[in-house]
Structure 1
Amino acid sequence: MPVFSGSRHSGMKRRKQRMSKLRTLLKALWISIKIKGPVSVIISLLGFAAAFLPVLLAGYLRALTDALQMLAGEGGVPGKALKLFSGIVMLYIVQVVITNVQQYTVGLDEIKMERYLKRTIMRHKCEVRYQYVENYDDFHNRLAFIEEYAGKQMARSITYMITVLQLLLAFCAAAFTLWSVSPFIVLILFITSIPAALLSYFQQEETFRYRAKWMEEGSLAIHYFHIIGGGGYSYDGLQEIRHFALFDYLKARWRAIADEYIGKKNKIMARHIKCNMAADFLRSIVYLAVLFIAARAIYQNPVLGLGTFTLVFTLSGQLQNTASECLVDIMVLAQNIPYMQEFFYLDKLEREVCSADSPEEGTGEITFENVSFAYPNSDNKVLQDINLRIREGEKIAVVGENGSGKSTFISLLCGMFDPLTGRIRVGGADVGSQPAAARKAVSVVFQDFAHYETSIRENITISDKHRNAADQEIMELLQKINVDDVVKEQKNGLHELVGSFSEKANNLSGGQWQKISLARAAYRNKAKIMILDEPTSALDPVAEAQLYHNFTALTEDKTTILISHRLGITSVVDRILVFKEGRIIEDGSHKELMAKKGYYAQMYHAQAQWYV
């Protein structure tokens, strides 16, 4: 009984897997139909009609051969041979035209599919819950695999589906014609095409398995290459590499990893080539054997005529190639299903709540109620039992050592993660159920702020796409917060294109980019809350002092949270939150916390001694 139960369970599992694969194929086919235009669909239908052209050509060649044989015996009609020759020419022309038009539409469809894949990947990156961005469920490697392999295989597989159907038609037409000459010819050609198809199946399976396994090794080799040679527009490490003469050392590390990675790939490739050569040799031997069978049949029965040999000569190669291609494409299609499933994995990911409906009366108040948090795949609580109320208009400094939970606190506040326990409200909206609405109330300067390859104006105004301020209004804002010097230094002012890809490669310094990020946050003037995460990390001491001096102009009456390792900020805020090991251990003004002579006072004195 247990054996029966186990086998039944195994059978149900296999049926579920088959149904899953079928659903994947149907989903891919539906995507193909949606992406294809009407012209492409019509050309695909013409391809089915074109599947019969090889048989028609072979029939015309057979008749022409017989007609020429009769002419040689002075019993034929020249006009008949000429008509047959003209028909062959016309069929060849039609075949060439259809083939080229098909190739053109396939190229267009591949471009459309590539765009669809890119759009889908970008959309999923922006819509999935932020925990995936932090590599939950091995998201980074899986996404890299999808971008590198799965997307391309998905596009090819959709082409294979239609091609397989067309090849099946061509095979049936050729097999039916050759069967009338000798059934053995059809059987032999079909059976000897199977090894190549099986080889393709197992090779695709092995390739998929090792591609997934080697993603990490390949990524590590690319990482070392980018460190040495600069990836894209990143040359951050080259100065240090040159100064410490690290080129030979890093090159050796890269070469060791790359050689091992390439060596494994080459070993498998060599094995595949040897097996494919053996399969091709078998097919060639069989093809010669088929021609021998046809010649022998004609010798034994001259009534068949030389036209039969021409027919077999033409269609045998066609049937063999069609059978091999059809079987191989079916096998490849079957093996590409895991690639498709990996691509459709993106559709199964949790999405952020899309509702952006904000309360009618937004506020600048923030509350944390019994909030605890641990990152995905970790039991270590980064924040523990946070209870906090920040009143509208308050200026708050968040301080603490590295790893104390400051950045995580900001990530939760911005709705990037859901807390394990508790509730967070920002600007009157619940962050868990309305993250987009909560973000409407917040303007942020992140520690890792973005550099947009566009004009300075767009770098600033991108934070509020609904506001259309004039250049003069933007300049007044920049002057107010004392960052207008970045614009004044540019030839085209606000309209200067900046970044590594700009025409003049006019990339700004780290401090200039940080000033732009401050302007971007200030431009979002409807926000009731402003968060500044290490806003002076790239600024020089003078610019940092100016920021503190203009702090009120920058933040106005907004609720403000300022995170920094430099405790000089405490002079411009109303209240200080001191984080340690995921908890708020002290809360008060600078004067109050110094009077307690606790953890904050220790940190303050430790920093102050370096400025005396």
Structure 2
Amino acid sequence: MTAASFTAGLRSALRQRFRTLALLPRLLHSFWQTSPALSAAIIVLRLLRAAQPPLVLFIGKLIVDEIILQTASPAPGPTLADWVESGRLSAVAGWLLLEFLLVATANALARIGAFVERVLTERHDNALGVALIQQVASLDLRDIEASSAQDRLQRARTQRFMGNQLLTSLLSQAQDFVSLILFVIGLLSYAPLLIVLLLLALLPTLAGEAHFNAKGYGLNVSVTPERRQMDYIQIVGSVAESAKEMKLFGLGAYLAGRFAELADKVHRGNRDLAARRTLWGSLFGAIASLAYYAAYAVIAWRALKGELGIGDLTFLAGSLLRLNGLFERLILGLTQITSQTQYLDDFFSFMDLRSTMVAPSNPRPFPVPMRQGIVFDKVGFRYPGKGAWALRDLSFSIPVGETLALVGENGAGKTTIVKLLTRLYEPDEGRILVDGIDIRDIDIAELQHQVGAIFQDFVRYHMTAAENIGIGRVGCLSDRPRVIEAAQKSLAHPLIETLPEGYEQMLGRVFARGLDLSGGEWQKIAIARAYFRDAAILILDEPTAALDARAEAEIFERFRNLSEAKTALLISHRFATVRMADRILVLENGAILESGSHEELIALHGRYAELFALQAAGFQ
């Protein structure tokens, strides 16, 4: 490390430190909001503990002074009884009793303080966990799906625990600072210049710690992608869902090797930084130790000259030792706190992200009931970071009560249409209308409240069967008759009745009593969730992919009957399902290639007829 690079690194590190230190009031405020009573109790307990070390050391000086005073006079007798009877032990005994009470009280205060801090930090951690879930739910899908956003989310998820560590560090720093002030007050009358010497000698340690903490944070940020990959590999290699392929394909050794390779890369960076930190830290520590022993030598010389008594020497030597340790702990603690605030910045910067979708200043209500339907008017959309248009100049309508099917090869834009209609994404061009109202003029929550969607990659919630269905509209989660009705519509009710605990059966294998389902069974549960929502717009994206042909035909027939008063959008690769829709759009490269009913498209002898013939040939 050259002097120029060290100086430049120090300046950069200090600028970053002071910027992130501004987050401390926000953190402390969040703790205070969690529990003002517990926060106040912690402050009082820490102040009482801070006063204990200087008082104990000063009482020790008084005990030594009293012993020397008593030994300077003839003994009242050879036995302890003679000393007690003379009353000359009263002062020593009193000081010893007071010191004992201080030490015992400090021990009790430390245990009580640890308990109170543990309760507060646990409650605070739970509150941040809730806030993090709410924050993710409030962001745009494009923000959540981006790789850079996933890196930030990973760091935020990890660093939310940093607040608890930081609180402990701050409290320890504050306690040490109060103790230091009390020691300094006691030493000012003896050797004020020695205090300055100790402080100056620790400045190199401060500079070194600031530099290496900045390097450590930068290293942590740079390896976030590798750590995410390591987490992913661990999950894939350890969950039941991937166990079959793990064994069948013999992936254990391969994944273990990938993990070891990534871990080694992260380890090498940490090891090299730790080695440099150790080398420079040892040098700076030697400078601090030299200053301490220089101060010790000055005090010893003054005692030899008779300027200080034995009690004074005891107090000063102990105070210098404690003061040196306090100075070092405060300086190192300060650099650690400023380093930790950088990690805290990861959490708060993620929590400060806001949706880029502009909420309407005067939102219009969603039209209930819908009378006209949905219109896509020259809609265009590009995924972030991609130059090609996923959709361009797309126009079509879905009248109320119509079931529209979307057909096309992968990447044609089918699921993108669904995401735009539900405002998971925002169009780059054009507009989407519901009964003539631009959906951007409708409150997002109200719009999505009127959409019931089941995607091909639907979530398998490790909850009870009733909860899996009821979360389709969480406000009605406890409405069991409605849950059962939705299950009956999706053909999930007969399945649930066969489960050992019925609707209270825990699904999935993550938790105790959990029972896993087949793909088709899970799909029936997910379709019931869409029915339970009872929304004006129903979207089914590959809704029957895991079902057999008979179950698929029955479910879709029910779907047609149940959605007569609704507007429905259907995406499927199965033409036996698609042909039952009122109208079909054939998409290619984000544009409409063909439009019409099944019979009309077959008569057209175009792409739909070609795809239908190819699929039909597979069953001959």
User: What is the TM-score when the length of structure 2 is the normalising length?
Assistant: 0.88
Partner of 1:348: 352
Match of 1:596 among 597, 604, 617: 604
Matched, 1:536 2:544: yes
| Closer/same/farther in 2, CA of residues 359 and 431 from structure 1, 3 Å limit | closer
| Closer/same/farther in 2, CA of residues 17 and 274 from structure 1, 3 Å limit | closer
Partner of 2:554: 546
Partner of 2:100: 89
Report if aligned partners of 1:367, 1:390 keep a CA contact under 8 Å in 2: yes
Matched, 1:572 2:580: yes
The letter for the 2-side match of 1:306 is: I
Query: Which shifted more, 557-566 or 74-83?
Result: 74-83
Partner of 1:198: 207
Cα deviation digits, residues 398-455 of structure 1 (max 9, x gap): 0100000001000011110111111112467533232222222221111211222222
Q: Distance in 2 between matches of 1:584 and 1:74?
A: 111
Identity %: 25
Report if aligned partners of 1:353, 1:435 keep a CA contact under 8 Å in 2: no
How far off is 1:102 after superposition?
A: 2.7
Matched, 1:124 2:160: no
Q: Distance in 2 between matches of 1:262 and 1:495?
A: 46
The letter for the 1-side match of 2:184 is: A
> Can you give the 5+ residue segments of structure 2 that lack an aligned partner in the other structure?
1-11, 76-87
Q: Distance in 2 between matches of 1:470 and 1:153?
A: 40
Partner of 1:292: 297
| Closer/same/farther in 2, CA of residues 417 and 611 from structure 1, 3 Å limit | same
**Secondary structure, counterpart of 1:338 in structure 2:** helix
The letter for the 2-side match of 1:221 is: M
Partner of 2:80: none
How far off is 1:573 after superposition?
A: 0.8
Partner of 2:33: 34
Q: Distance in 1 between matches of 2:116 and 2:290?
A: 36
**Secondary structure, counterpart of 1:418 in structure 2:** coil
Matched, 1:412 2:416: no
CA-based RMSD: 2.8
Partner of 1:182: 191
Matched, 1:381 2:397: no
Cα deviation digits, residues 284-339 of structure 1 (max 9, x gap): 454444433322211111x5221112102321121112111222222223333433
Q: Distance in 2 between matches of 1:305 and 1:510?
A: 86
Match of 2:244 among 239, 243, 264: 239
Partner of 1:109: 120
Cα deviation digits, residues 215-244 of structure 1 (max 9, x gap): 1112222323333x22xxx33333223223
Query: Which shifted more, 162-171 or 323-332?
Result: 162-171
**Secondary structure, counterpart of 1:464 in structure 2:** helix
Q: Distance in 2 between matches of 1:550 and 1:501?
A: 33
Q: Distance in 2 between matches of 1:485 and 1:346?
A: 45
Report if aligned partners of 1:443, 1:529 keep a CA contact under 8 Å in 2: yes
The letter for the 2-side match of 1:496 is: Q
Q: Tell me the matched-pair count.
A: 592
Q: Residues 302-451 of structure 1 correspond to what in structure 2 (within 5 A)? A: 304-351=308-355, 358-359=365-366, 361-363=368-370, 365-426=373-434, 430-433=438-441, 434-451=443-460
**Secondary structure, counterpart of 2:23 in structure 1:** helix
> Can you give the 5+ residue segments of structure 1 that lack an aligned partner in the other structure?
1-12
The letter for the 2-side match of 1:209 is: G
Report if aligned partners of 1:455, 1:496 keep a CA contact under 8 Å in 2: yes
**Secondary structure, counterpart of 1:51 in structure 2:** helix
Query: Which shifted more, 350-359 or 385-394?
Result: 350-359
Report if aligned partners of 1:44, 1:102 keep a CA contact under 8 Å in 2: no
| Closer/same/farther in 2, CA of residues 427 and 500 from structure 1, 3 Å limit | farther
How far off is 1:139 after superposition?
A: 0.8
Q: Distance in 1 between matches of 2:201 and 2:224?
A: 36
Matched, 1:164 2:168: no
Runs of 4+ in 1 over 6 A off after TM superposition: 13-19, 353-357
The letter for the 1-side match of 2:500 is: K
Q: Distance in 1 between matches of 2:354 and 2:545?
A: 34
User: What is the TM-score when the length of structure 1 is the normalising length?
Assistant: 0.89
Query: Which shifted more, 553-562 or 439-448?
Result: 553-562
Report if aligned partners of 2:21, 2:341 keep a CA contact under 8 Å in 1: no
Report if aligned partners of 1:371, 1:384 keep a CA contact under 8 Å in 2: yes
Partner of 2:5: none
Partner of 1:142: 152
Match of 1:587 among 565, 588, 595: 595
Q: Distance in 2 between matches of 1:39 and 1:223?
A: 38
Q: Residues 190-269 of structure 1 correspond to what in structure 2 (within 5 A)? A: 190-227=199-236, 229-230=237-238, 234-269=239-274
The letter for the 2-side match of 1:30 is: H
How far off is 1:179 after superposition?
A: 2.9
How far off is 1:374 after superposition?
A: 0.9
Cα deviation digits, residues 186-220 of structure 1 (max 9, x gap): 23322233333333222221111000001111222
Report if aligned partners of 1:363, 1:428 keep a CA contact under 8 Å in 2: no
How far off is 1:581 after superposition?
A: 0.3
